[in-house]
Each structure stands twice: as structure tokens, then as C-alpha cells.
């Protein structure tokens, strides 16, 4: 029903309540993207300070780990190697969505201009965030570990780049995840993204507390678990999770300086830059006005069309590993539940 032609005022009309319209306005959740964004202290100096325009590259530097065996004695003439540092070059992707709105089209509609504009802005943000979730999951799976040590409690399948947990150990799946991550020298708290099967398992096991015959809730301290309906591995229909050290993966979000500062005027031909906030994210907003004849689409012969675009840049990153042993080559590890 384009251009709101079903909402013209030829008949008496009303609008549905917010609760009733909620199913129509549903969006795919973006918890993985949200988790990565919450780890945006990846850089000491923020990206908004360093990245002054779209095409400016950013390099992040850190000290490298030098792995060597310890000596067995002291020496008066000991010599050593000069250690090195490494850098990470951040890459960025842009997601955008655009829409138009007529100044006069809504003069004969049950919907007023401000209500429609707000709805269109929110829907554009929803479309971007849905794509960001897809992008986040694709990135994490693309950088997951491709090697493992000899494991206790799980089996690494190189063909699938996943650690399989046998069904007999399903009731301690998350405890084995913690143990195997420690076997990879990743101690401490973990961030975990679970698919829809494994979040159900987590919720069930976490509810089996000390008062039950089988206490399985002990596994969950130190785990931050979110569910992504986007996450899946066709090799494992029983479910998978992606585990990583807490804050080991991050999404840095950025919008241009002109948007952050505000510039121009949306109501003229040249247009303007601004921001729009939705669900805790700040999007870049660009808009301009044009003369238009919208009579063929329920508007007016003499009308103004306003064109808007929302956008958001993101750089996905994982904590770098400069050296490899027989252990993992990535901080992101996939775990799978077998039948």
C-alpha cells in the first residue's frame, strides 16, 4: 500500500493502538551486534576522534607476545631478543537505508506528517540493525578458530572448525566450554553467543539450582550469554555457541563529523546533516528537499518531496593473536552439541 493511499480521508477512520500494531513493526533482534558494540573500548582513543572522514584509515598498535622456553640457569653474559609490536588496521563497512516523504500527501490522511516521519526513521534504523546482526554473525564465524590442542571434554573437528560436545555431556555443556577455553589459556569471564537451541539449554540448566536433585546452575557464573536467531551451523542441528574472552571481540561504530556536529537544513535543496538515536545507537541522518508533482501517488501537483538517508559505519575486530602454538589461532571458538 504505497504512499499511504489506503489511509486517505474518504471514509471515517481511526488508528490502531501501539500494542496492536507492534507485531507489524517487529524486527529481528540484534543481540550479537549489541554485545560487540558494548565492547567498543577496544581503542584507547575513540574512533570518532581518529577517523575524521570516511576514507581515513586507522591503525591500532599493541605489544606483541614473544613465546620462548625458560632457561635453567643464570648467566653473567646473557643476551636477549628485542621484542616487537604489532598493529591492527581497522576496516569499515557502511549500512544505509533511504526513504522519501511528501509534504502534502498526508494532508488528506489519517496520519500526520510527524507521526509518519518518526515511523519511517525508526523503520530505517530497524532495517540497518537487522543487517548489522547478520554482518556481526558472519564476521565472528569467519574469524573463528581453525586449530585446537588435544582437548579434554570435547573433540575438535577441523572440517567444521568446531569443538563437539557429546550428547552424554549435554547437562554440563557450558562448564566444558569454560574448561576448554581455559585449555586454550583463555581464563576469566567469557562472552557467549548462543543459537536458539543452546539458549534454551542454558536457561533450563541455569534454573536447576541447589534445591534440585541435579544442580547444573553452577556452570553459569562468569558467562555473559546472548541469543542470536541469526546464528546457525548446518552441520549441527542440535545447536552451537560462539565463545570468546570477555570483550575479546568488538564493533566500533562511527558516523561522520558533520552529522555529529549538525550542518545545513533538511528543508532546502542543498540539505543537511544530523543524527537520529534509536535503541541506544546514533545513526547519521542526511536529508534534502526537492520540488515535485506527487499527484499520481495521492499527493499534489505542487508539492515538496523530502529525501532522507540513515547510515551507520562499523568496524568489527577481535583481539589479535601474534603467535600461534598448538592452541587456538583466534579468540573466537565455536562449540557444537552433538546428538
List, in order of start, the domains of the chain with CATH numbers. 145-251+319-337 (3.30.2320)
Distance between CA atoms of residues 271 and 154, nearest Å = 58
The pLDDT score that the predictor gives to residue 62 is 63
Please report which confidence band the pLDDT of residue 171 belongs to, taking 50, 70 and 90 as the band edges. Answer: very high
CA triple 133-138-144, angle to 5 deg: 125
Q: Check whether 67 has a pLDDT greater than 80.
A: no
Q: Determine the average pLDDT of the residues in 199-212.
A: 90
Q: Check whether 13 has a pLDDT greater than 50.
A: no
Distance between CA atoms of residues 197 and 206, nearest Å = 14
pLDDT tens string 94-103: 999 999 988 8
Report residue 148 as a C-alpha cell.
585446537
Q: Check whether 23 has a pLDDT greater than 50.
A: yes
The pLDDT score that the predictor gives to residue 14 is 47
Q: Which of 58-62, 119-123, 157-161, 196-200 has the lowest mean pLDDT?
A: 58-62
Q: Check whether 258 has a pLDDT greater than 90.
A: yes
Name every residue whose Cβ is closer than 8 Å to that of residue 35 and which is 6 or more positions away in sequence: 191, 193, 224, 226
Backbone angles phi and psi of 99, in degrees to 5 = -160, 165
For residue 114, the surrounding DSSP H or E stretch is: helix 113-142
Q: Determine the average pLDDT of the residues in 203-225.
A: 90
- From start to end of 81-169, where are the E strands? 85-90, 93-102, 155-157, 162-165
Q: Which of 79-88, 105-114, 180-189, 247-256 has the lowest mean pLDDT?
A: 79-88
Q: Which of 30-44, 47-61, 124-138, 225-239 has the lowest mean pLDDT?
A: 47-61
Nearest to 146 by CA among 289, 335, 339, 328: 328
Q: Determine the average pLDDT of the residues in 121-129.
A: 94
Q: What pTM does this model have?
A: 0.87
Q: How far is CA 317 from CA 92, 97, 143, 223, 242, in A?
A: 10, 24, 9, 20, 15
Report residue 48 as a C-alpha cell.
570518532
pLDDT tens string 175-193: 999 999 999 999 999 999 9
Q: Check whether 60 has a pLDDT greater than 90.
A: no
Q: Check whether 70 has a pLDDT greater than 90.
A: no
Answer with the residue of higher pLDDT: 58 or 15: 58
As beta bridge partners, residue 304 has: 291
Distance between CA atoms of residues 318 and 90, nearest Å = 11
Average pLDDT, the chain: 87
The DSSP code sequence of 183-226 is: HTT--S-EEEEE-HHHHHHHHHHHT--TTSSS--GGG-TTEEEE
Distance between CA atoms of residues 252 and 254, nearest Å = 7
Report residue 205 as a C-alpha cell.
540448566
Distance between CA atoms of residues 47 and 60, nearest Å = 10
Q: What percent of the chain has pLDDT over 70?
A: 91
Distance between CA atoms of residues 312 and 198, nearest Å = 30
pLDDT tens string 293-313: 988 887 889 998 989 999 999
Q: Determine the average pLDDT of the residues in 285-292.
A: 93
Q: Determine the average pLDDT of the residues in 82-107.
A: 85
Helices (H) and strands (E) in the chain, counts: 7, 14
Burial label for 40, CB within 10 Å (0-12, 13-18, 19+), is middle
Amino acid at each position: 500500500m504505497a504512499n499511504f493511499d489506503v489511509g486517505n480521508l474518504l471514509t471515517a477512520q481511526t488508528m490502531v493502538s501501539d500494542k496492536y500494531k507492534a507485531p507489524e513493526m517487529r524486527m529481528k533482534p540484534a543481540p550479537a551486534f549489541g554485545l560487540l558494540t558494548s565492547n567498543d573500548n577496544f581503542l584507547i582513543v575513540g574512533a570518532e576522534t581518529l577517523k575524521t572522514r570516511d576514507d581515513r584509515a586507522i591503525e591500532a598498535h599493541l605489544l606483541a607476545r614473544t613465546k620462548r622456553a625458560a632457561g635453567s640457569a643464570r648467566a653473567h653474559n646473557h643476551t636477549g631478543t628485542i621484542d616487537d609490536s604489532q598493529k591492527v588496521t581497522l576496516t569499515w563497512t557502511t549500512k544505509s537505508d533511504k526513504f522519501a516523504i511528501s509534504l502534502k500527501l498526508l494532508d488528506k490522511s489519517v496520519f500526520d506528517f510527524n507521526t509518519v516521519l518518526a515511523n519511517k526513521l525508526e523503520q530505517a534504523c530497524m532495517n540497518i540493525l537487522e543487517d548489522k546482526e547478520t554482518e556481526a554473525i558472519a564476521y565472528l564465524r569467519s574469524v573463528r578458530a581453525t586449530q585446537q590442542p588435544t582437548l579434554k571434554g570435547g573433540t575438535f573437528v577441523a572440517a567444521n572448525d568446531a569443538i563437539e560436545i557429546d550428547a552424554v555431556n549435554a547437562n554440563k555443556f557450558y562448564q566444558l566450554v569454560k574448561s576448554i577455553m581455559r585449555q586454550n589459556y583463555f581464563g576469566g569471564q567469557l562472552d557467549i553467543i548462543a543459537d536458539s537451541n543452546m539458549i534454551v539449554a542454558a536457561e533450563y540448566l541455569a534454573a536447576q539450582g541447589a534445591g534440585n536433585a541435579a544442580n547444573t546452575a553452577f556452570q553459569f557464573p562468569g558467562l555473559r550469554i546472548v541469543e542470536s536467531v541469526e546464528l546457525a551451523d548446518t552441520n549441527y542441528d542440535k545447536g552451537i555457541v560462539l565463545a570468546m574472552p570477555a570483550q575479546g571481540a568488538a564493533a566500533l561504530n562511527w558516523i561522520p563529523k558533520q552529522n555529529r556536529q549538525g550542518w545545513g537544513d533538511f528543508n532546502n535543496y542543498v540539505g543537511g546533516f544530523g543524527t537520529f538515536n534509536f535503541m541506544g545507537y546514533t545513526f547519521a541522518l542526511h536529508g534534502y528537499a526537492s520540488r515535485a508533482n506527487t499527484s499520481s501517488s495521492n499527493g499534489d501537483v505542487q508539492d515538496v518531496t523530502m529525501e532522507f538517508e540513515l547510515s551507520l559505519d562499523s568496524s568489527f575486530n577481535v583481539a589479535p593473536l601474534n603467535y600461534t602454538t598448538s592452541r587456538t589461532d583466534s579468540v573466537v571458538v565455536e562449540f557444537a552439541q552433538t546428538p
